[in-house]
Amino acid sequence: MTRTIASSALLLPEPDHSFWARIAHELADAIGRGTYAPGERLPSEHLLAEQYGVNRHTIRRSLASLGQIGLVRSTQGSGTYVEDFAVDLVLGRRTRHRQSLAQAGLPGGMRVLASQTVRANADVAKALEVRTGSTVLHLQVIGDGGGQPLHVSDRFFPCPRFAGLDELVRQSGSITQAFAACGVADYTRRQSRISARLPVPEIAAHLKQPAAHPALYVSSVNVDTTGVPIEYACTWFAGDRVTLTVDHDHVA
């Protein structure tokens, strides 16, 4: 979270005589004291209902209010977790996932969810400067940091130049290392377009966030040292877990 626990708790309604509001404040205080650490799962609705002597509907409303201010997140079938502090990722001329995580003091890498060769539609063809209908490699990739999903992306690479890149990413967990194995020693970001959107359910599930929470959506194009596009990416960043910093000194 980019907000502190204290400032977030101020967004809760006054506890007055509402059981759910009082419970929400008590849980927020417990999170602020560190009783429940970032990333930790809260007790189940059933256990919390027994603890506070209320029904599960009341607990559900308390947890929903904490979710609305970004203190917790609920994952269907898994439980409710204390939200982690946001990772600050830099979008610059040389944007690298692992380098950004290293600067934040977190381990992480890329994991391929799916890969296939497809025909480039108009948007992909324009970004990669190839003909519509040309063969491109499509990877769906998730980027982890500190054991949490930070972003999920659809990435497109021109073929035959990058045929087999998916296996290299699977082996290394790094697109930069995969590029190097294909003879691309360096590459830069040509552009990044950022907007806030509601994710589709599949993307929200990958990011482990509610579909009703906006995500940061970034479309970007990377080019090799001769200026030839080598990657077009459409990336969803977890809105509650990531802040994006645009480095104006190094953005092309």
For the CA atoms of 162, 204, 74, 31, the dihedral, rounded to the nearest 10 degrees, stands at 60
Tell me what pLDDT residue 53 has: 93
Produce one character per residue of 188-216: b if its CB has 16 or more CB atoms within 10 Å, e if not: bbbebeeeeeebeeebbebbbbbeebebb
- Specify the amino acid at residue 239: G
Q: And the tokens for 65?
A: 């209010």
The pTM of this model reads 0.68
Tell me what pLDDT residue 247 has: 67
- The mean pLDDT value for 8-24 works out to 66
Q: Above 70 in pLDDT, residue 7?
A: no
Cis status of the peptide bond prior to 38, with omega within 30 of 0: no
Kindly state the percentage of the chain with pLDDT values over 70.
85
SS3 199: coil
Comparing 216 with 99, the larger pLDDT belongs to 216
Q: Above 70 in pLDDT, residue 5?
A: no
Tell me what pLDDT residue 95 has: 74
CA distances from 156 to 53, 102, 175, 201 (A): 54, 25, 12, 22
CA distance 210 to 212: 5
Produce one character per residue of 2-37: b if its CB has 16 or more CB atoms within 10 Å, e if not: ebebeebbeebeeeeeebbbbbbbebbeebeeeebe
- Calculate the average pLDDT of the chain: 84
Q: Quick check: do 5-82 and 87-246 share a fold? A: no
Which CATH architecture fits 87-246?
Answer: 3-Layer(aba) Sandwich (3.40)
Over residues 29-75, the pLDDT tens digits come to 887 677 887 778 999 999 999 999 999 999 999 998 888 766 788 88
Q: Which residue has the tokens 């101020």?
A: 10
Tell me what pLDDT residue 248 has: 52
Over residues 96-135, the pLDDT tens digits come to 777 777 666 667 889 999 999 999 999 999 999 999 999 9
Tell me what pLDDT residue 162 has: 97
Tell me what pLDDT residue 28 has: 82
Comparing 208 with 51, the larger pLDDT belongs to 51
> In the chain, which residue ranges form alpha helices assigned H by DSSP?
5-9, 19-33, 45-52, 56-68, 97-103, 122-128, 165-172, 175-181, 201-207
Out of 1.10.10.10, 3.40.50.720, 1.20.120.530, 3.90.850.10, select the CATH number for domain 5-82.
Answer: 1.10.10.10
Tell me what pLDDT residue 119 has: 98
Tell me what pLDDT residue 78 has: 85
Helix orientation angle between 45-52 and 19-33, rounded to the nearest 10 degrees? 110
Q: And the tokens for 147?
A: 């054991």
Over residues 146-162, the pLDDT tens digits come to 677 889 999 999 999 99
94 burial via Cβ count (<10 Å: 0-12, 13-18, 19+): middle
Q: Where are the domains of the chain?
A: 5-82, 87-246
